[in-house]
Amino acid sequence: LFWQNLAPAAGAGGQLKPGPLKDAIDQTFGGLDNLKKEFNTTTAGIQGSGWGWLGVNPSNKRLEISTTPNQDPLLNLVPIIGVDIWEHAFYLQYLNVKADYLNAIWSVINFDEAQRRYVEATQGSKL
């Protein structure tokens, strides 16, 4: 999931196109900028290593933000986007400034893959 959810910034990375995922982000968070802010704030709160997640709640088909410590799996949501918060993911480039890493990661998020996963999760397909 992690590598599929990344794309080069010079290519499709960071570009949320019109479609079902954008509509859900707009409805749930009021837009992509608000999602980024809420996601980054929540994920920056991880003490030590872990993951930040944007996922679909299978009960109500709504997007939610969640975190998991260490390598613990995401159990309560269908993962749409996962961001690695282990030091190996950001330390060499961002040192200990998680906020800079979290702001930058959005420029390489593969929203085409995220939308594919969102559509599968909301239409009942198995991922």
Structural domains of the chain, with CATH: 20-122 (3.55.40.20)
Q: Are 4 and 110 in contact (CB under 8 A)?
A: yes
The alpha carbon of residue 63 and the mean position of all alpha carbons in its chain are separated, in whole angstroms, by 11
CA-closest candidate to residue 82, choices 105, 59, 58: 105
Please give the sequence-ordered ranges of beta strands (E in DSSP) within the chain, or none if there are none.
50-56, 63-69, 78-84
pTM of this structure = 0.90
Q: Which residue type does 109 have? A: I
pLDDT in tens, the chain (127 residues): 888 998 988 888 999 999 999 999 999 999 999 999 999 999 999 888 999 999 999 999 999 999 999 989 999 999 999 999 877 666 556 667 788 889 999 999 999 999 999 999 999 755 5
Q: Are 43 and 24 in contact (CB under 8 A)?
A: no
| Calculated CA dihedral for residues 101, 49, 12, 115, nearest 10 degrees | -130
Q: Identify any residues that bridge with 81 across adjacent strands, giving them in sequence order.
A: 54
